[in-house]
Amino acid sequence: MPDIYAVFGNPVAHSKSPLIHAAFARQTGQDMTYSALLAPLDGFRESVAEFRKDGASGANVTVPFKEQAYALATRHTPRALAAGAANTLKFEVDGILGDNTDGAGLVRDLIVNLGVVIAGKRILLMGAGGAARGVIQPLLDQQPAQLFIVNRTPEKAIDLACAFAAGGVRGGGYAELSGEFDVVINATAASLANDLPPLPDSIFAPDALAYDMMYGRDTPFLAFARAHGARAADGLGMLVEQAAEAFNLWRGVRPDTATVIRSLREG
């Protein structure tokens, strides 16, 4: 019997995770299945409980259930604790381990795939919701010179920065932005609405990278970045890398991500 995994979300039909994990399993010779399961908005806990009862080994969790997945876990990795949200659950005999691989996925995509140095650099993180929160600690672990969280509602950025105050993070509104940044990361929902956060024209340092966590289409943020001389990257690499981190947690083997990213891009 193959081991059983799935991604829970709502909506979830668009998810590329089944494709990615199938590619990882083929590549590493792991005997497992991975499907996409739609959980009712008010029935996440029950859906996961049923899945586990049916003998599943673990699950990924996407929007809007990551906080609920965190609450469901009986044990957490340090990076899940920092994020306050879980995108990966591992079902164990005596409980559920909650992990959050999003931040590690982003950092790996930046460093390994895109060749970006984070250490000593000025990082601007746009957004103060769950997507932003999940990547702060892994970014700080790389010891940037500066991490500024900017948000449409400045208070939320300030609160979030306070939660990571030991790392020297600062937060505020777009009107407070000054100076240049080496890496600008879009963790807002603006791209979904084809919207551009109000960034100053002078935000990008020479050789800056603009990173949009969204993938699958060009965004106003990436177009803005290119028009201002920055290199632009979408979030497809992060998607594959966070999946690889989850796969490694479950199976104890790290798949090769570059080939999977390439084949997804070729579509």
Compute the least distance from the CB of residue 127 to ligand ATR, in Å.
4
State how far the alpha carbon of 181 is from the alpha carbons of 1, 124, 146, 166, in Å: 51, 6, 9, 21
Which residue of 103, 130, 144, 255 would you call a contact of ligand ATR, by CB under 6 A?
130
Q: Is 195 in the site for ligand ATR (CB under 6 A)?
A: yes
Provide, rounded to whole angstroms, the least separation between the CB of residue 182 and ligand ATR. 21
By CB under 6 A, residue 190 contacts ligand ATR: yes
Q: Judged by CB under 6 A, which of 26, 81, 92, 153 binds ligand ATR?
A: 153
Q: Nearest 10 degrees: CA dihedral of 224, 194, 62, 37?
A: -140
Could you tell me the smallest distance in angstroms from the CB atom of residue 151 to ligand ATR? 5
Of 188 and 219, which has the nearer Cβ to ligand ATR? 188
CA distance 135 to 149: 11
Q: How many residues bind ligand ATR (CB under 6 A)?
A: 16
What's the helix, strand, coil split of the chain in %, to 5?
40, 25, 35
Question: How many other β-carbons are positioned within 10 Å of the β-carbon of residue 105?
Answer: 27
Question: Among residues 16, 66, 90, 156, which one is catalytic?
Answer: 66
In the complex, minimum distance from the CB of residue 153 to ligand ATR, in angstroms, rounded to a whole number: 3
Task: Indicate which single residue of 98, 144, 171, 197 sits in contact with ligand ATR (rule: CB under 6 A).
Answer: 197
For residue 74, the SS3 value is coil
Shortest spacing between CB 132 and ligand ATR, in angstroms: 6
Is 66 a residue of the active site?
A: yes
Q: Determine the residue with CB nearest ligand ATR.
A: 129
Of 4 and 161, which CB lies nearer to ligand ATR in the complex structure?
Answer: 161
For residue 152, state whether it binds ligand ATR (rule: CB under 6 A).
yes
129, 267 Cβ separation under 8 angstroms: no
The CB-based long-range contact list for 173-179 (8 Å cut-off, 24+ gap) reads 174/150, 174/198, 174/199, 174/200, 176/150, 177/124, 177/148, 177/150, 177/203, 179/122
Residues acting as catalytic residues? 66
Query: Can you give the binding site for ligand ATR, defined by CB under 6 A?
Result: 127-132, 151-153, 156, 188-190, 193, 195, 197
